[in-house]
Amino acid sequence: MSIRTYRVTVRSAGGVSREIRVASPTDVQAGDAARPLMSEDEAILGIEETIEDSGSVEAGPPLSQAAELAPVTPGAAAAPEPGDRAPDRRF
């Protein structure tokens, strides 16, 4: 799946609207990518794919569910830390 550029339009409770440009594989995930840049009182009004250069985006693609849950899933404690060497399997 290729990464596309989306314009996410948000509005605050006070009625002020603004646009956030994000890179995302899908429009649904574009909303997820915009969320960290939104304030608590803002809501998404619309998501539209654009034909803009991806260099002009404010946020990259969101993490996958697997990446978000990896630190809290069983077995994560047994996962090797970055930089750990693999066990020597020679007998």
Which are the contacts of 59, defined by CB distance < 8 A and separation ≥ 6?
20, 21, 22, 23, 33, 34, 36, 37
pTM: 0.63
Q: What pLDDT shows up at residue 18?
A: 96
Amino acid symbol at 26: T
Q: What pLDDT shows up at residue 91?
A: 46
User: Residue 34 is encoded by which pair of tokens?
Assistant: 């915009």
Q: What pLDDT shows up at residue 31?
A: 92
- Considering only CA atoms, which of 9, 27, 7 is closest in space to residue 18? 9
Sequential pLDDT tens for the chain (91 residues): 688 899 999 999 999 999 999 988 888 899 999 999 999 999 999 999 998 665 677 777 766 666 666 666 666 555 666 665 555 555 4
Domains of the chain, by residue range, sit at 4-75
